[in-house]
């Protein structure tokens, strides 16, 4: 089978390394270009432990990345927002399809982007054109036709998969939704800081960026699209002393007259045929070890109990796979007309 050349820019970050590993084993992709500001000149085998043809590739410097990527059909941008804003227009002009893993093109409202990232968006046209790439919530046809796909953030992915079916079905009351989500340390990126050092993180558990996390408007945007209305939201992220995984605990109230049976039916209707969503028998069964290392999301819920009308939905994902690189490859598969599960259906965790 002829393979299609793909580039990974920003390949030395955690999501970039994960994307490199997935694409190196992809049955239809040829990893042709990798770039890094820190590893330039080194081989992929040396830095990512990948052997074979992909392992012999050398990391190109960022200033040459766009030029080298012109020989590819598509590129994954595992780069910060400011770098993605520079790379995306150049690659699109060269005819590539682009999947951007940063927040550069996720928010449809330029004012929301400015508030979240402290930048004026320089490409309003591309912001309007970008397709939000969360296949399980709809939009597969748009993703398949898109030139520019905004890969969702890790927290928004977990929250949206947990609640979007219920919002779309009108099962939740128009009250505030609360999302408490805890992530492994790789979600903070690879830049060394005192707060993220081993001695500071281990044996601790804490919230961070309370009421000011940049993913809050993205979660709110996804909820609003599903519900057809604005959804009041409180989102609080937490840092787990683990490397990988996100556990999102979402609190809401059922709309008047709605039942747990209708909730179960909504999840089944939306996800019964989804290859990367697993519906657990109960909220208690959802765990990180069930999904870490895979592109899966596990979802379970509990409703009623001592407080009638209360519902708690729990979702778990690997923040580097379904929350980043795996989802990017899922979107790439759709955009290039490949089976959606290509390169992803063989991923597996290692627990115990």
β-bridge mates for residue 257, sequence order = none
Q: What is the CA radius of gyration of the chain?
A: 20
The rounded distance, in Å, linking the Cα atoms of 217 and 109 is: 10
User: In b/e form, how buried is each residue of 203-227, taking b as 16+ CB within 10 angstroms?
Assistant: eeeeeeeeeebbbbbbbbbbbebbb
Name the β-bridge partners of 33: 7
Identify which of 3, 8, 220 has the alpha carbon closest to the alpha carbon of residue 100: 8
* Contact between residue 196 and residue 206 where contact means Cβ atoms under 8 Å apart: no
Place of tokens 């009041």: 232
Active-site annotation holds for 250: no
Q: Are 277 and 271 a contacting pair, CB within 8 Å?
A: yes
Per the CB < 8 A criterion, the answer to whether 93 and 143 are in contact is no
Which one of the listed residues 72, 78, 154, 250 is annotated catalytic? 154
As a whole number of angstroms, the distance between CA 260 and CA 302 comes to 8
- Which active-site residues does the annotation give? 154
């Amino acid at each position: 089978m002829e393979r299609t050349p793909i580039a990974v820019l920003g390949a030395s970050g955690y999501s970039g390394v994960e994307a490199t590993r997935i694409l190196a084993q992809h049955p239809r992709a040829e990893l042709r270009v990798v770039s890094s500001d820190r590893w330039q000149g080194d081989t992929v085998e040396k830095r990512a432990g990948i052997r074979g043809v992909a392992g012999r590739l050398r990391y190109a410097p960022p200033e040459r990345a766009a030029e080298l990527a012109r020989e590819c059909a598509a590129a994954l941008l595992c780069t910060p927002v400011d770098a993605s804003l520079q790379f995306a227009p150049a690659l699109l002009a060269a005819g590539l399809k682009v999947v951007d893993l940063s927040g550069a093109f996720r928010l449809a409202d330029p004012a929301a982007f400015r508030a979240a990232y402290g930048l004026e968006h320089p490409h309003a046209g591309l912001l309007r054109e970008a397709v939000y790439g969360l296949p399980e919530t709809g939009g597969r046809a748009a993703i398949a036709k898109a030139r520019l796909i905004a890969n969702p953030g890790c927290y928004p992915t977990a929250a949206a998969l947990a609640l979007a079916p219920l919002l779309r079905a009108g099962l939740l009351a128009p009250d505030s939704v609360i999302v408490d989500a805890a992530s492994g340390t790789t979600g903070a990126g690879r830049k060394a800081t005192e707060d993220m050092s081993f001695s500071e993180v281990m044996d601790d558990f804490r919230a961070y960026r309370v009421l000011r996390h940049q993913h809050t408007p993205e979660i709110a945007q996804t909820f609003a699209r599903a519900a057809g209305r604005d959804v009041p939201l409180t989102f609080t992220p937490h840092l787990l002393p683990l490397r990988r995984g996100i556990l999102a605990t979402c609190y809401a109230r059922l709309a008047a007259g709605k039942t747990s049976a209708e909730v179960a039916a909504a999840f089944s209707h939306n996800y019964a045929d989804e290859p990367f969503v697993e519906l657990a028998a109960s909220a208690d069964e959802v765990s990180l070890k069930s999904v870490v290392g895979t592109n899966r999301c596990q979802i379970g819920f509990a409703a009623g109990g001592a407080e009638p009308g209360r519902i708690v939905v729990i979702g778990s994902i690997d923040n580097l796979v379904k929350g980043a690189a795996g989802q990017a490859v899922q979107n790439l598969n759709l955009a290039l007309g490949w089976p959606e599960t290509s390169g992803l259906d063989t991923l597996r965790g290692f627990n115990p």
